[in-house]
Chain A
Amino acid sequence: MTNDIAPAAARPAAGNTPPEAVLTVRDLNVVYRTDPPVHAVKDVSLTLNRGEILGLAGESGCGKSTLAYAVNRLHEWPAEVTSGSVTFHDRDGGDLDLLALRDEELRRFRWAKLSMVFQGAMSALNPVISVRAQLEDVLTTHRPGMSRQERRERCAEVLRLVGVEPRRMHSFPHELSGGMRQRVMIAMALLLDPQVMIMDEPTTALDVLVQRGILREILRLRDRLGFAVVFITHDLPLLLELSDRIAVMLRGEIVEYDTAETIHRRPRHPYTRTLLDSFPSLTGDRGAFLRTGAAARSDAPGEEDAR
Chain B
Amino acid sequence: MTSVIPPDRALEESPPGTGDGTAALPPTARRRGGRRALLPTWSPKLGIGLGLVVAIALFGLIGPLFTGDPDTIRNIGLTPPSGEHLLGTTQTGQDVLAQLVHATRGSLQIGLLVGVMATALSALFGIIGGYAGGFADEAFSLFSNVMLVIPGLPLVIVISGFVPADQRGSWTIAVVLAITGWAAAARVLRAQTLSLRGRDYVAAARVAGEKPWRVICVEILPNLLPLLASQFVFSVIAAILNEAGLSFLGLGASNSSTLGTMLYFAQNGFALQREAWWWFAPPGVVIAAFGCGLALINFSLDEIINPRLREAGRRRRAAAKAGRDTERVTRSTAA
Contact = CB atoms under 8 A, between A and B. Distances in A.
Contact of A38 (B19, B321, B334): B334
12 contacts: A32-B21, A33-B319, A34-B319, A34-B322, A35-B319, A35-B320, A63-B334, A66-B20, A75-B20, A78-B22, A200-B17, A204-B17
B17 A120 contact: yes
A77 B22 contact: yes
B330 interface: yes
B332 A61 contact: yes
B327 A200 contact: no
Q: Is the interface of A mostly helix, strand, loop or mixed?
A: loop
B335 interface: yes
Contacts of B334: 32, 38-40, 61, 63, 251-252
Given A40-B334, A63-B334, A77 B19 contact: no
Given A35-B322, A77-B22, A78-B22, A61 B327 contact: no
Interface in A248-270: 251-252
Nearest to A75: B20
The 6 nearest A-B residue pairs measured at CB? A65-B19, A33-B319, A38-B334, A61-B333, A34-B330, A38-B330
Contacts of B20: 65-66, 69, 75-76, 79
B321 A66 contact: no
A97 to B, nearest CB: 23
Contacts of B134: none
Contacts of B15: 120, 123
Contacts of B22: 76-79
A245 interface: no
A79 B21 CA distance: 8
B21 A38 contact: yes
Given A32-B330, A36-B327, A38-B330, A64 B21 contact: no
Given A35-B322, A38-B334, A201 B17 contact: yes
A214 interface: no
Interface string B297-335: 000000000000000000100011110001100111111
A75 B315 CA distance: 14
Interface residues of B, number: 21
A79 B319 CA distance: 11
Interface of B: 15-22, 315, 319-322, 326-327, 330-335
Interface string A29-73: 000111111111000000000000000000011011110110000
A251 B335 contact: yes
Contacts of B16: 119-120
Interface centre among A35, A37, A40, A65 (most CB of B within 10 A): A35
A64 B19 CA distance: 8
Contacts of B18: 65
Contacts of B21: 32, 34, 38, 40, 66, 78-79
A158 to B, nearest CB: 25
A79 B330 CA distance: 11
B21 to A, nearest CB: 5
